[in-house]
């Protein structure tokens, strides 16, 4: 079923709150959940644009790659919720490009 834009944005907002709680308050299961993740980050930047574009996201054009390359302007001090993305398969439903991670 296709979500309306409003439903999609609402899902993104709920996900941001859920991840904030999971990353900063209710962290007990995170290690176990992250162990179910496979793949790697392709630096597509999609998770940095959930609901709004992160102000710390740096976009550079790569003529060789023919696409944008994304980096985090505060990498190393970035937020806990960014460090654990994606934590559960539902997180992948909030982005508009395919993530390099999948879940088993």
Q: Which residues bind ligand SF4 (CB under 6 A)?
A: 41-47, 85, 95, 99-101
Q: Give the position of tokens 């696409």.
A: 67
Q: How far is the CB of 89 from ligand SF4 (least distance, A)?
A: 13
Nearer to ligand SF4, 22 or 101 (CB): 101
Print the SS3 string covering 62-98: ECCCCEEEEEECCCCCCCHHHHCCCCCHHHHHHCCCC
Give CA–CA dist 104/95, Å, rounded. 19
Q: Give the position of tokens 């993530």.
A: 99
Q: How far is the CB of 97 from ligand SF4 (least distance, A)?
A: 7
Q: How far is the CB of 56 from ligand SF4 (least distance, A)?
A: 13
Q: How far is the CB of 85 from ligand SF4 (least distance, A)?
A: 5
Nearer to ligand SF4, 73 or 100 (CB): 100
Nearer to ligand SF4, 10 or 42 (CB): 42
Give CA–CA dist 36/31, Å, rounded. 9
Residue 20 · residue 85 · CB < 8 Å: no
Nearer to ligand SF4, 85 or 88 (CB): 85
């Amino acid at each position: 079923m296709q979500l309306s834009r409003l439903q999609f944005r609402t899902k993104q907002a709920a996900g941001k709150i859920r991840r904030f709680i999971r990353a900063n308050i209710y962290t007990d299961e995170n290690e176990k959940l992250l162990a179910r993740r496979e793949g790697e980050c392709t630096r597509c930047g999609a998770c940095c644009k959930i609901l709004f574009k992160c102000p710390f996201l740096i976009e550079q054009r790569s003529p060789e790659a023919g696409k944008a390359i994304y980096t985090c302007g505060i990498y190393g001090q970035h937020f806990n919720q960014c460090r654990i993305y994606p934590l559960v398969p539902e997180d992948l439903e909030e982005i508009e490009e395919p993530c390099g991670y999948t879940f088993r």
